[in-house]
Amino acid sequence: MEEKTVKVLIIGSGPAGYTAGIYSSRANLNPVIYEGNQPGGQLTQTTEIENFPGYPEGVQGPEMMDQIRQQALRFGAEIVSKTIAEVDFSKRPFRCVDEDGNAIYAETVIVSTGASAKYLGLADEEKYRGLGVSACATCDGFFYRKKVVAVVGGGDTACEEALYLSTLARKVYLIVRKDYLRASEVMQKRVRDRENIEILFNTNTVGLFGEDGVEGAKVVEFKGTDKERVFDIEIDGFFLAIGHKPNTDIFRGQLDMDAEGYLLTAAPTTRTNVEGVFAAGDCADPIYRQAVSAAGTGCRAALDAERFLMEHS
């Protein structure tokens, strides 16, 4: 097994990790990026991106992430297509071990492991991913102007997504498995008052169908009861809004996080509770979860790491 010492270790890729790589490379910090088991992050599973600055005609997710990756490489970042499996932040340099057992000793660490959208677990979700199935209304809602969409979920996020989509789509179904909304009273009222949102309570989605993309969903009302009813709804898009899970399990017990696992930082910086460890992107952002905001925190984390190294050299 190999051992290596670095000034900056970036764990995770995506807009945050690669941007941190660009900035720390330009500061001559020779960063090493472990891009994980999904190089480029969630955007590599996204088709058209139209809300990232600099792409007036839009860009495919994998293409954009490859361009940002190439930019990091151009300035000298070393990119390793492996995962970090274990970390020890008890003392500096921090000891991190990759999936092959190689040890990396880092003066600073930037965590940019992202978050994963929660899905229902239907085979059809994978089948139609990028073909009508999405976990981000802000990212993909634009493509459903004057169309019919469904949003799954009953919390604030689901209501926000439904309200946003209702400004674009002709009709929005809000599919709620319980007989009530978990969202705040304000959000509930807004949804109920919006004429083109129809709430389907006590309803579960059991399948999707369509030729070249989503054309409808098969749903069950009052599943498992004597009132059970199975029916189809015609839709063009199917949006999951049942939450995200930050990819932070390996940091439990070492970095402070909230109840859902999002890393806590000392705003407005990207500092965590461990001096020399910084967090950027969706793993520390339960609110915005946008590529451009993730890239911004990647920049900030790199600058924070640079300042820390200057102060502790």
What pLDDT was estimated at residue 47?
64
Smallest Cα–Cα separation from 262: which of 154, 87, 114, 138? 114
Catalytic residue among 98, 140, 236, 304: 140
| Residue-wise DSSP of 201-247 | TTEEEEEEE-SSS--EEEEEESTTSTT-EEEEEE-SEEEE-S-EEES
Using 70 as the pLDDT threshold, list the residues of the chain that sit under it. 45-47
What pLDDT was estimated at residue 46?
65
159 in catalytic set: no
Tokens representing 96 are 């991190």
* Contacts by 227-233, CB closer than 8 A, 24 or more apart: 230/206, 233/150, 233/173, 233/200
Cα three-residue angle 246-270-65, rounded to 5 degrees: 60
96 in catalytic set: no
User: How far apart are alpha carbons 109 and 93 in whole angstroms?
Assistant: 10
What pLDDT was estimated at residue 36?
87
140 in catalytic set: yes
Please name the amino acid found at residue 166. Answer: S
User: How far apart are alpha carbons 285 and 106 in whole angstroms?
Assistant: 24
Catalytic residue among 98, 124, 136, 285: 136
**pLDDT, tens digit, 9 for 90 and up, residues 127-178:** 998 899 998 888 889 999 999 999 999 988 899 899 999 999 999 999 999 9
Catalytic residue among 96, 139, 283, 299: 139
What pLDDT was estimated at residue 160?
86
What pLDDT was estimated at residue 42?
74
**Phi, psi (rounded to 5 degrees) for 34:** -95, 105
